[in-house]
Amino acid sequence: MTASIPVEQTRASLPVKRRSTVIETRTWKTRLFRLRLLSNLFWLAWQVTGSPVRALRVLRALREKYQKIFGGPMASKVAKVDGKYYWNIGGAGLPSLALTRFWEREIRGALENRPPDGLRNVFFAITKKCAYHCAHCFEWDNLNKPESLGQQDLKDIVQHFQEYGVAQFILSGGEPLLRFKDILAILQSSRPGSDFRIFTSGFSLTPEKAAQLKNAGLTGMTISVDHWEPDLNDEFRGFPGAFEAAAAAARYANDAGLVTGLSVCVTRPFCTRDNLQAYLELARSWGVGFVQLLEPMPVGHFQGKDVLLGPEELQLLEDFYLSYNRDPRLCSYPIIEYQGYMQRRVGCFGAGNRYLYIDTDGDVHRCPFCQDKIARALEFPVGDVVGLLQGQGCGLSKLQGGQ
């Protein structure tokens, strides 16, 4: 079948030129983009269903579903990076083969009233190494122990899950950039059809490394910054100079044409409107396209601690998320991604629903916060592992107020 969304067929191999993220600030342009997106989805749905009437019915169901998930129209705000358009930090861009394949599975699932085949994301922790001592680290008990997975293991796991139809891999750790050569090997050996992103502190990134990653096929980079004040960020992350390293990494990633975002763990002391507004000002000044809001969970270094946000704090985050994504007066700010908002309305996307987590030993978990090994990533068919995960569901949904 010929997809209606144009796709790229080869990895970039030309020298990287300076690029930047553009957040579309004109409402009519975002509406025009949504029309283009819906048009592409309609033609793709027509090809999948064989009928324009059934295609319209499927699209109506998908639109209602995603309005519930995002709290408004899908792609109410759009970032353009290196010629492609992105509207959430965990999704592929338009045009791309990864996006086409993802939507094909979504359409088939909606058509048959079942969860879609494949997975949207695999979070893959590729290293135990890290120089930081972050207050919220969920991999705290595994840091800086001997590595279990060699380069070939990493490539085999990625290939195993690509065959199942994973749209995007998010490489984490530890600090994934400490296995820089292995990341290049993963990217260079991967097949077309999956995007790759890195979740990082920015530690050790250079302009040359950012360009190499882009040329090898990396799509984006999400950089952890947990306060807009440098000293408080460094204290939280347990590493002097963490703020400056993150600022430099954001600049290098943007210059290389990577989809760049910031991620913040919104703790109780941080959860004020003034702090959130100052953080968005910082993110805009750094030129990133996205900001991800994470709620603290009582796992890892926070194990046994009273860190969950209360009702008033959660309401503040939800109001902030909706206003900065939908208010035309705030359209020049980065797009906010807030999984907690979505989970409280449609349930957890982990546990094989839309994503799963693979740890540094190659074991599969429901999500990064549910630390219970389900199976070895390479020892069982991915479909069987996903079935096990879906049968167990998310262990933290009740803590977060999810369904």
Q: What is the pLDDT of residue 247?
A: 97
Ranges 10-24, 150-164, 326-340: which has the least confidence: 10-24
259, 88 contact by CB (below 8 A): no
Bridge-based pairing of strands 22-23 and 119-125 is unpaired
Which one is predicted more confidently, 256 or 300? 256
| Integer Cα distance of 163 and 169 in angstroms | 13
Tokens for 186, please give them: 């993963």
Global confidence as pTM:
0.89
The amino acid at residue 318 is: E
Which residues make Cβ contacts (< 8 Å) with residue 394, sequence separation at least 6? 347, 348, 350, 351, 366, 367, 370, 402
Report CA-CA distances (Å) from 141 to 171, 198, 225, 242, 359. Answer: 19, 21, 21, 21, 12
The amino acid at residue 61 is: A
Mean pLDDT over 5-33 rounds to 52
Q: What is the pLDDT of residue 262?
A: 98
| Integer Cα distance of 106 and 117 in angstroms | 8
- What is the CATH topology of the domain spanning 119-400? TIM Barrel (3.20.20)
| Integer Cα distance of 138 and 305 in angstroms | 13
pLDDT one-digit tens code per residue, 167-192: 899 999 999 999 999 999 999 999 99
The amino acid at residue 363 is: D
281, 243 contact by CB (below 8 A): no
Ranges 189-198, 256-265, 367-376, 385-394: which has the least confidence: 385-394
Confidence of residue 1 (pLDDT cuts 50, 70, 90): very low
With helix as H, strand as E and coil as C, how does the chain read? CCCCCCCCCCCCCCCCCCCCCEECCCHHHHHHHHHHHHHHHHHHHHHHHCCHHHHHHHHHHHHHHHHHHHCCCCCCCCEEECCEEECCCCCCCECCHHHHHHHHHHHHHHHCCCCCCCEEEEEEECCCCCCCCCCCCCCHHHCCCCCCCCHHHHHHHHHHHHCCCEEEEEEECCCHHHHHHHHHHHHHHCCCCCEEEEEECCCCCCHHHHHHHHHHCCCEEEEECCCCCHHHHHHHHCCCCHHHHHHHHHHHHHHCCCEEEEEEECCCCCCCHHHHHHHHHHHHHHCCCEEEEECCCCCHHHCCCCCCCCHHHHHHHHHHHHHHHHCHHHCCCCEEEEHHHHHHHHCCCCCCCCEEEECCCCEEECECCECCCCEECCCCCHHHHHHHHHHHCCCCHHHHCCC
Mean pLDDT over 57-74 rounds to 82
Q: What is the pLDDT of residue 114?
A: 75
124, 378 contact by CB (below 8 A): no
Mean pLDDT, the chain, whole residue set: 86
| Cis-peptide, bond into residue 146, ω within 30° of zero | no
Mean pLDDT over 152-157 rounds to 98
Q: What is the pLDDT of residue 24?
A: 60
Mean pLDDT over 162-166 rounds to 90
141, 190 contact by CB (below 8 A): no
Q: Is the pLDDT of residue 13 over 50?
A: no
| Integer Cα distance of 266 and 314 in angstroms | 10
Q: What is the pLDDT of residue 75?
A: 74
Q: Is the pLDDT of residue 61 over 80?
A: yes
| Integer Cα distance of 393 and 385 in angstroms | 13
Q: What is the pLDDT of residue 382?
A: 87
| Integer Cα distance of 308 and 397 in angstroms | 12
Q: What is the pLDDT of residue 360?
A: 94
Distance spanning both ends of the chain, measured CA to CA: 37
Mean pLDDT over 210-214 rounds to 98
| Integer Cα distance of 120 and 116 in angstroms | 9
Which one is predicted more confidently, 8 or 167? 167
Q: Is the pLDDT of residue 112 over 90?
A: no
Q: What is the pLDDT of residue 6?
A: 32
Confidence of residue 400 (pLDDT cuts 50, 70, 90): very low
Ranges 50-64, 227-241, 371-385: which has the least confidence: 371-385
Q: What is the pLDDT of residue 23?
A: 65
Q: What is the pLDDT of residue 369?
A: 76
| Integer Cα distance of 399 and 68 in angstroms | 21
Confidence of residue 399 (pLDDT cuts 50, 70, 90): very low
Confidence of residue 394 (pLDDT cuts 50, 70, 90): low
pLDDT one-digit tens code per residue, 300-357: 889 899 999 999 999 999 999 999 998 888 988 999 999 888 888 776 665 556 778 9
Alpha-carbon Rg of the chain, whole angstroms?
Answer: 20
Mean pLDDT over 74-95 rounds to 87
Each domain of the chain, given as residue ranges in start order, spans 22-111, 119-400
Which one is predicted more confidently, 104 or 397? 104
Tokens for 351, please give them: 């546990």
| Integer Cα distance of 348 and 344 in angstroms | 8
| Integer Cα distance of 352 and 121 in angstroms | 9
Confidence of residue 53 (pLDDT cuts 50, 70, 90): very high
Q: Is the pLDDT of residue 110 over 50?
A: yes
